Amino acid sequence: MPELPEVESVRRGLQAAQLRAPVVEVWRSAYKLRVGKSWAAENLSCLKDNVPKDIRRRGKYIVWEFAGSGGETNGLVIHLGMSGRCGVTTAAQPKVVHTHFALRMADAREVRLVDPRRFGGLRAGPLDELMASEPIGTLGPEPLDPGFGGELLAERLGASRRPIRDALLDQEAVAGLGNIYAVEALFAAGIFPLVEAHRLHASAWARLAGTIVTVLQQGIDNGGTTLKDFRNVEGEVGRNQDDLRVYGRAEEPCPRCRATLVGFVSGGRSGAYCPRCQPRPRTRTIR
């Protein structure tokens, strides 16, 4: 599933396309997208005749701002789900199979969402309403914002009895982190991924907050991680999969100490850790 760096790559790609011409047509396939209940009303037709503005990101969501024809500010939230891809084409280009959404601009270009598995989602409406309601309104802080650090992380997760890796995936605690980057950040911080979150000491939270920022930033610099489906706006794969140090590498040697990496499954999600660099703690608190 696209995580913060992949969604950020798509956001940058859309931004670079400099879409400024008004929307002349909103096209939607007959197929439902399977994202959660709060997305039921897509309300996409409100974007007609709107002028595209700033493209932002919040967690794993693209939030695109539009100037409405009546002076109102609208927004379009795009969730890429498992296999969603956003691209910019000319309107004359035939739609490929699994295209579910197209926004045609007055300059004859189209932004299209192609999503074979249809786990993605779309929602439009007044921007302030979108920002205040689910799924955007309940998201936790952005890990790449200036105020993010160990203290904030401890405040959000310090009481949790869940394994730290699982707790990090809670979007209401921290926005944008998914399994790949959580597993990588825990390795870089030397923290056993299955330790209960409340056992982490302030120094461990600070270290973890630092490595979360580092792995996300590296993911962005590498244009995202492509294990299977992810493509950027240009249709290219990311490069970060080559730089993953433990994720997907169970049974391989640890890149730091050469011990054999151990795979695990928790909360239905797999991961890997180094038994030497991330030892199972013997004391109550993890420093």
The residues binding Zn ion (CB under 5 A) are 254, 256-257, 259, 274, 276-277
- Candidate list 11, 57, 58, 60, residue with the active-site label: 60
Least Å distance between CB 258 and Zn ion?
Answer: 7
Q: How many other CB atoms are found less than 10 A from the CB of residue 79?
A: 24
At CA 145, angle to CA 268 and CA 1, rounded to 5? 30
Residue 155: Cβ within 10 Å count: 12
Q: How many CA atoms lie within 13 A of 156 on its CB side?
A: 23
In the complex, minimum distance from the CB of residue 209 to Zn ion, in angstroms, rounded to a whole number? 21
Least distance CB 249 / Zn ion (angstroms): 11
- Nearest approach in angstroms of CB 167 to Zn ion is 23
99-105 sheet: strands from edge to edge: 23-28, 99-105, 109-114, 85-90
**Would residue 65 show up in a list of annotated catalytic residues for this protein?**
no
> In terms of CB distance, is 139 or 182 closer to Zn ion?
182
Burial of 243 (0-12, 13-18, 19+ CB in 10 A): middle
Whether 53 is catalytic is no
Q: Which two tokens stand for residue 148?
A: 């993010």
What is d(CA 42, CA 80) in angstroms, rounded to the nearest whole number? 15
155 or 252: CB nearest Zn ion: 252
Amino acid at 67: A
Q: Point out the catalytic residue in the list 2, 52, 135, 143.
A: 2
- Cβ atoms of 220 and 243 within 8 Å: the answer is no
Identity of the residue, 159 or 257, whose beta carbon is nearer to Zn ion in the bound complex: 257
Minimum distance of Zn ion from residue 233's CB (angstroms)? 37
* Least Cβ distance, residue 190 to Zn ion (angstroms): 9
Q: Which is nearer to Zn ion, 88 or 254 (CB)?
A: 254
Nearer to Zn ion, 108 or 259 (CB): 259
Q: Judging by beta carbons within 10 Å of its beta carbon (0-12, 13-18, 19+), is residue 284 exposed, middle or buried?
A: exposed
- Which candidate in 256, 269, 275, 281 is catalytic? 269
Neighbour count for residue 163 (Cβ, 10 Å): 19
Please tell me the distance from the alpha carbon of residue 49 to that of residue 70, in angstroms, as a whole number.
Answer: 10
- Assess whether 60 carries a catalytic annotation: yes
Measured between its terminal Cα atoms, the distance across the chain in Å is: 31
- Has 269 been annotated as catalytic? yes
Nearer to Zn ion, 2 or 190 (CB): 190
Active site residues: 2-3, 60, 269
